[in-house]
Structure 1
Amino acid sequence: MLAFNSLRFSCSARALLKQNVLRTRRQIVYDAMTCSVHCMPTSCNRKDTWRSHTNFVARGKDSHFSCYTHPVSSLRSFCTDQDKLSCWHCEQPLDKSPAFFCMSCKVVQPPEEGMSYFKIMDCTYTFTVDIQKLQRRYLQLQRSLHPDNFGQKSVKEQEYSEIQSALVNKAYNTLLKPLSRGLYMLELQGMRIEEGTDSEADSEFLMELMEINEALDEARTPEEANKIGKDTKGKLAELTGEIDAVLLKGELQTAKALLAQMKYYANIEEKVKEKLSGFM
């Protein structure tokens, strides 16, 4: 009986361990894709600081990391825990990052250099962002940082509030939609989708886009335009799922190709809105 109970406990522990590994694999891969999202320069004394990126590529049982660096610029230099940031007004240490306000004198602070939009908006670095959490964070920050709150403050505080408020707006709008979010994630990895890359697209895909655009041009009723808009939304949702899947695998080139397709469909979606406004 004792041997049976020991065996049962061993199997249960093994099953629990496997479950935990599967549950955390998603976040582990995203965390491994880049160290630049939350890791900042270790030196604050150089005129030009460098941000390190780490790509994670998984192929079956084999995986590897590739690192590179490139210069970044911003308003405030980020330092390590041994040399923390201090308030520009009272020179007291700032106890958290990002620090929008000094906890001692309550004045607004300038933005930190190299701070990713994900960290500014307190979002997990993932393609499937929690939109409700993102919106709550945006409203919270804008209520406290909006320039209207600093009309009676010093010129320096007014300037910092304008900069911080604009930065929060940009971070929010970038992370809000899948396309801009995905493009930003590629940018963090040093990858961009250049304009005028039609020659790189599949001919069958380009033919499909041409047919959709022609059908939209020929649409004579709101119902016809709405049908095209519904189909386009479905395709965008499908691409969102595919991009999330390949990013989990660290397949950045595939993600780049899918995001390029998403740009085309997003453009059609905007054309549908323009077409519908013409019927009003």
Structure 2
Amino acid sequence: PALALSARRLQSTTTSLSSTCPSCGRPLPTRLPSCTNCWTIGDVSPSERCHDILSVPSGPNPFRVDTKELRRNFLKAQQTCHPDMWSARGEKERQLAERLSSRVNDAYKTLQEPIPRAQYLLEAQGMGIQEEEPPLEDLEALSEVMETMEEIDTSPDKATLENIKHHNDARMNETIADLEGAFEVPDYSKAKSELIRLIYWDRIDKGIK
């Protein structure tokens, strides 16, 4: 029995997400293969979606994410697979915990903000943005970006910058709403165009800060 338990604890095969532990059959705190009842931990398939890793709905619109729920689920997931919890269980378990914790961190960073979330969803459709500075084909928007960046560089006074930020925040919120609508359809070409637009508004936001 001791040897059998030891073998289960060293489980390193890739497992699918489940609500019960494959070793002891007890309910898992999350859908991750990390059981603090029998101290068995496993890998997660590279193909598992970020939404599933953090137990947030991916439908009907995968872009629409409750960020408060996402944060709660992230913290709960890290409580079960943080490497510090597994360091006393053996080197192999600690390494598995590091990999699993890293996957959880990556999933959270991907879904937390609109830009990486949209990029992730477009990459799944083979339509991700590869360029560091993607071309903004909307000439009117491009002109607005250039004028705004020049205004930031030449108008250091606080009141002007606050006004620019207020206007830019409105543009960002409008574009995020358009992004959500595009993924709802889904219209991935429109989603890609809106993402590029959002990337430029985000650069303005960072330029103000």
Q: TM-score range by the shorter chain?
A: 0.7 to 0.9
1:70-111 deviation per Cα after TM superposition (whole angstroms, max 9, x unaligned): xxxxx95457x9xxxx96xx6x67988943324762222222
- Residue number in structure 2 paired with 1:179: 115
Partner in structure 2 of residue 115 of structure 1: 48
Partner AA of 1:209 in structure 2 = V
Q: Is this contact kept in 2: 1:121–1:134, CA < 8 A?
A: yes
Matches of 1:186 and 1:217 in 2, distance apart?
33
**1:263 aligns to what?**
199
Residue pair 2:14, 2:42 contacting (<8 A) in 1 also = no
Report the counterpart of residue 101 of structure 1 in structure 2: 34
Residues in 1 aligned to 2:160 and 2:13: alpha-carbon distance in whole angstroms: 52
TM-score in terms of structure 1 length = 0.62
- For 2:32 and 2:111, the matched residues in 1 are separated by 20
SS at match of 2:96: helix
**What is aligned with 2:180?**
244
Amino acid at match of 1:180: P
Alignment length (residue pairs): 192
Map residues 132-151 of structure 1 onto 2, 5 A cutoff.
132-151=68-87
Contact 1:76–1:112, Cα closer than 8 Å, also in 2: no
Counterpart contact for 1:94–1:103, Cα < 8 Å = no
Q: 1:143 offset after TM fit, Å?
A: 2.0
In the alignment, residue 134 of structure 2 is paired with which amino acid? T
CA distance in 2: counterparts of 1:214 and 1:99, whole angstroms? 48
Residue 197 of structure 1 is matched in structure 2 by 134
> Taking structure 2 as the reference length, what is the TM-score of the superposition?
0.81
Determine helix, strand or coil for the equivalent of 1:105.
Answer: coil
Aligned to 1:254: 190
| Structure with the greater alpha carbon radius of gyration | 1
Contact in 1 for aligned 2:36/2:80 (Cα 8 Å): no
What is the letter of the counterpart of residue 117 of structure 1? C
Report the residue type matching 1:157 in the other structure.
E
Asked if 1:214 is matched to 2:150, the reply is yes
Whether the 8 Å contact between 1:150 and 1:157 is mirrored in structure 2 is yes
The one-letter code of the counterpart of 1:121 is L
Partner of 1:48: none
Considering only aligned residues, what root-mean-square deviation do their CA atoms show, in Å? 2.7
1:188/1:78 CA distance change after superposition, 3 Å: farther
Distance 1:106 1:148 in 2: 13
In structure 2, the CA distance between the partners of 1:169 and 1:192, relative to structure 1 (3 Å rule), is same
Any conservation in 2 of the 1:236–1:262 contact (CA below 8 Å)?
A: yes
Cα distance between partner residues in 2 of 1:248 and 1:197: 23
Post-superposition shift, 1:134? 0.3
Q: Which has the higher strand share?
A: 1
Q: Write the letter of the residue equivalent to 1:160.
A: L
